[in-house]
Structure formats: C-alpha cells, structure tokens
Amino acid sequence: MNACSLRSSLARGASLAALLGCATLAAAAPADKLIGINVVLSTHVTDAILADLGAHGKVRDVVPEIDAVTMQAYESQLDAIRGLRYVAAANPDASRTGAPVDTVSATNFSNGLSTWDQDAIDVTDFRRGRTVAYDGSGVYVAVIDTGLLDSWRQYFPQERIATSLAKCFSGGGGDMGNVSEPPNCWEHDQNSHGTHVTSTVIGYSLGGVPINGAATKATIIPVKVLKNAGFGWSSVIARGIVYVTDLKASGALGASPLVINMSLGGPGLDAMEKAAIDYAIGEGVIVVAAAGNSGERGMGYPGAYPPVISAAASGWVGEWKPGADGNPFNWWYADDVADPTNPADFYITDFSSREKPGQDLDVAAPGSWVVGPYQVQSGKTSYYFLGGTSMASPHVAGIAALMMQKNPGLNAAQVESILESTATPLPPGCRTVAQPSGPPQQICWGADAAGAGLASASAALAATP
C-alpha cells in the first residue's frame, strides 16, 4: 500500500498527505528487516514532526487523540526513533491473542435460565433467575475482540447490539504499521471468540431458551480488532479503544456510561495501547481485561497494567459432578452454587496467569467450562464450553456495567476499589476437581493467583454509593 492512500485522523489536509506520501525508508543495515513501530509523542503531532519521522521510515497512521503514530521502518531505526526529543516511547507493534485455551462441545442442553457462572458471581441463583436489582440498562459495553458471527441475530436480541456504532479495524504490525477500517467486517467473524464473550455479558438464546448474562440489558458495541484466527496487534487494539472513547467524549453515547472489555493480551505493555487506555480512563471509561492464560509465566497486557481492571479465571468444584438428579453432564445449568459464596467451592485454574512484580491482578471470575455460542461450521449454530481468562473478563465487565447503571458517576479507580473490597478472598490452596472424562485433577494455586478474590455482583452493588 502506498502511504499516499493512508486515511489520517488528523484531517490536516493536503500538507499531511504530501508528508506521508513523500516519506522514504532510511537505508537498511545488512540482514535488517522492516517492522511496524508504534510511537507515542511527548507533544502534539505536527507536520514538522511527521516530516522528521519520515527520515526514519514511513508514517502509516496518526492518532491525534493520544499523540501517537504508527510507522513502517527498518528494525535498526528503532533506537534512533526512541532517541528523538519529541518521542516519549516507541516499540515494535506488540502481538495480541484472544484464543481460549480449550474448547469442548457442549451437549445435553435443556431448559434453564441460569448457568453456574452467573450464579457464582451472584447475578442469578439456581431456579430463581436474577437476584440483583440491576440489569445494565443505559450502559454501553464495548467488546473489543473478533467481532460477531454472521449468525449473531440467532443468539442475541437485535436491540442489544449497537449496529450503527459497530466498527472493524484491521492491519497492524503484520502490515507494517498500516491500520485500516474495512466496512461491515465486524459481523462476519469466523472465529466465534467475540460472540462467546458477548454472550457472557448480555446472555444468549439457546435454541429459543433465554440464558442469563451478567448485564442483560446493556448495549454492546462490537469492535473487531482481532483477525479471524484470534490474533492481532496493539496498534489496531489502540485504534479500537480510541474509537469507542471518542464516541463517549463526543457525546455520541449521550450521558450513558461506557465499559470496555478486552478478552485479549500479550507480553509487554505497548506504548500506544497504554496511551489509548490512559485516554479512555481519563474520559471516564471503565476498562476491563483478561489476566492472561500463561500460568506461572505471568500476566499478559493490557490486563497487567495497573489502571486496567484485570480478571483471573476461577472454576467451581461442582464441575462434572452428578447433582441431585444424578446426572454429571448437566451440572452447568442444573446444579446450585451455594450461597453465600464459600471459597472452598472454588479454585483458580492452572492456566490463569499469576501476578508477577510490577503487575496488577485485581479479581477472579468464572473462566472454566463456560458455555456460550461458538461455531465450528459457518452458519450452523452451536454452543461450546470455553476456558480462559477471556471468559472471566466479561463477567467482571458485566458487574462493572451494573455498578455504572446504579451510579454513572463512578470512575475507573472507584469501580476497581469496590470490586476488590467486596470480593470473596480465595486464599492459596488446592482442590480436587472432576473432569469430563478420566480421573479427577488436583489443582493448586498460590497467593499470586486470585487478586483480591472472587468478584461478587451483589456485594459490589451493595457497596456502590
């Protein structure tokens, strides 16, 4: 792609287009390679800065809201770019993935409005339906993910999806810094990850049977930033964050609160992604993200970034055990999670990322054997169990939406503080957990695995002023 065809959000006119079009790549060192580089400036973007950056590579995208640009440059130019007086930070575009760790076909579906995971966060109770007074009405939840399946209308009520605000961003590091906006691709996902995540927030139709979600009346803004393989780049994710934040900042959402869910992550905090998150939080947006699926290797980013509310993955000891009816396969909707919450009934999954020095793990939520829409054949509706912190994050985002419905004036730090102070502590320990086949497995975790403990919607709402 020629840089002259770049769409720039600066809207600075012909002078900017000329600068981008005339940029040339600096000479390559032997065995050097072209990479995408994300650059955050210490000042506002100007034509002079763009021209100067052009001596080191091609500027491919400009994001003025966060004083950031993406570039295509030779790897050897990175240190020179970092050394420029107006550059606050620069790094190779960071990879991100939202892929779950595991999929198992969910069978033996039957009537039931409440599932174990919603019971575990105390939004619903066995055979009683919802047990909290809030449902997310008037709150937007931006699901920054893979978008939605073509068949999303078979799972979700149309009025719950803000189709006029949905967006798709593509490109990134694999395209050497270029970020594009393909039309309508947000609802042509072939991955299912974003659809499953959305189902946890607002619930879903299971062959006509309504299944509860954490915030059933919230309005979802689907933003596709991950490719159909479930992989993407921080520059594209930053674009998605800025896009939905601009909606709030511009008044396009009215006075409605906005929560962002990012069931994705990767190693290292990207400078552009950080700037976008800081911009969002500064505009009153609540940002929730998965802790990561790397176990003892530590948390992923952006979840590990302290201003982000991060979610570890918990499981229930009632999984794959026969309930009162003696059936070990319908446990996920036919068995009761005891109230009040007993820490002895839960565990932290072995894949859930542990908190390392400099990282911030906030709370835990269901991320083991969570049922939702997931298609392996295009156009054929199906449902799967998924496991991952990707599944935990939307539970927490849904609770945050309930809190924002009760008090739209809360900021991110207040939401995080309430979630942590009302969580049920889950001390280090071990649990023997049944499996769908084979012998039970012993799962252990330490003090670095659960954050403040198990998130509770009822307790968080009670503490919300």
pLDDT above 70 (res 169): yes
> What is the Cα Rg of the chain in Å?
22
Confidence band, pLDDT 50/70/90 cuts, at residue 174: low
Helix (H, G, I), strand (E, B) or coil at 289: strand
119 is annotated as an active-site residue: no
Half-sphere exposure (Cβ direction) of 429: Cα atoms closer than 13 Å: 13
Domain locations in the chain as residue ranges = 3-92, 97-463
Would residue 390 show up in a list of annotated catalytic residues for this protein?
yes
**Do the Cβ atoms of 116 and 337 come closer than 8 Å?**
yes
For residue 296, the Cα-to-chain-centroid distance in whole angstroms is: 21
Do 151 and 417 contact (CB within 8 A), yes or no?
no
CA distance 364 to 33: 41
What was the pLDDT predicted at 99?
66
Q: Tens digit of pLDDT for each residue in 254-309?
A: 999 999 999 999 999 999 999 999 999 999 999 999 999 999 999 999 999 999 99
Query: Among candidates 283, 290, 285, 284, which has minimal Cα distance to 305?
Result: 290
Cα gap 162→191, rounded to integer Å: 20
Q: 443-460 pLDDT, tens per residue?
A: 999 999 999 999 999 999
Residue 150, pLDDT score: 92
Q: Residue 171 has what pLDDT?
A: 85
Q: Does residue 373 contact residue 155 with C-beta atoms inside 8 Å?
A: yes
- Active-site residue among 56, 193, 196, 395? 193
Of 232 and 304, the structure prediction assigns the larger pLDDT to 304
Topology of the domain covering 97-463: Rossmann fold (3.40.50)
Residue 177 confidence (pLDDT): 56
pLDDT score recorded for residue 273: 97
117, 135, 145, 270: the catalytic one is: 145
Band (pLDDT 50/70/90 cuts) for residue 463 is very high
pLDDT at residue 108, as a whole number: 29
pLDDT of amino acid 97: 87
Least-confidence region, from 30-44, 210-224, 296-310, 427-441: 30-44
End-to-end CA distance of the chain: 52
pTM of the model: 0.89
| Percent of the chain scoring above 90 in pLDDT | 76
Residue, of 103 and 60, whose pLDDT is higher: 60
As given in the structure block, the two tokens for residue 103 are: 């999929």
Task: Give yes or no for residue 157 having a pLDDT over 70.
Answer: yes
Is-catalytic flag, 193? yes
pLDDT score for 24:
44
Q: What's the rounded mean pLDDT across residues 222-229?
A: 92
Residue 347 has a pLDDT of 98
Whether the per-residue pLDDT at 437 is higher than 50: the answer is yes
d(CA 288, CA 241): 12
Contact 224, 163 (CB under 8 A): no
The dihedral built from the CA positions of residue 156, 160, 166 and 168, taken in this order, carries a sign that is negative
Phi, psi of 97 (to 5 degrees): -135, 150
- Considering the candidates 170, 235, 368, 390, report the single residue annotated as catalytic: 390
Classified as helix, coil or strand, 160 is helix
Nearest Cα to Cα of residue 192 among 377, 349, 450, 32: 377
- For residue 239, the model assigns a pLDDT of 96
What is the helix (H) or strand (E) element at residue 418, kind and residue range? helix 412-422
Place of tokens 């939080």: 281
Tell me the average pLDDT of the chain.
89
